[in-house]
Amino acid sequence: MSETRFTEQHEWVRVEGGEGTIGITRYATEQLGDVVYVELPAIGKTIAKGAEGAVVESVKAASEVYAPVGGTVTAVNEALGADPAKVNSSPEEDGWFFKIKLTNAAELSQLMSEDKYVEYVKGL
């Protein structure tokens, strides 16, 4: 069973069996506007919790995507190179950025549940 957790910077991580898939939320894409370019990390790169994992550029701005949890990159979403708009059209499904093997699963407890994230966004 997968579990999805969220950060205050609007990243999400969906964890299944020690591997986390990371992307940005619909709220983040609405703030960014149309995504035109995505820079993904190298497979095998180790990323610390809170460190830059990817970069997303939109018609409005460039923004870093921070790792909600630390780990080693196991896969990247190659489809975003040809079609970065997937981030806008399906931010929490097809528009994921990268996957990591978690270094410390306990870091998940520091992130928000979906219910808490929805309440957080309402307050913005």
Q: How far is the first Cα of the chain from the last one, in angstroms, to the nearest whole number?
A: 31
Contact 16, 84 (CB under 8 A): no
Task: Record the pTM.
Answer: 0.96
Instruction: Identify the burial level of 117 via C-beta atoms within 10 angstroms of its C-beta, where 0-12 means exposed, 13-18 middle and 19 or more buried.
Output: buried
* CATH class as words, domain 3-103: mainly beta
Instruction: Quote the DSSP letter at residue 34.
Output: S
Residue ranges per structural domain of the chain: 3-103
Q: Tens-of-pLDDT digits for all 124 residues of the chain? A: 678 999 999 999 999 999 999 999 999 999 999 999 999 999 999 999 999 999 999 999 999 999 999 999 999 999 999 999 999 999 999 999 999 999 999 999 999 999 999 999 999 9
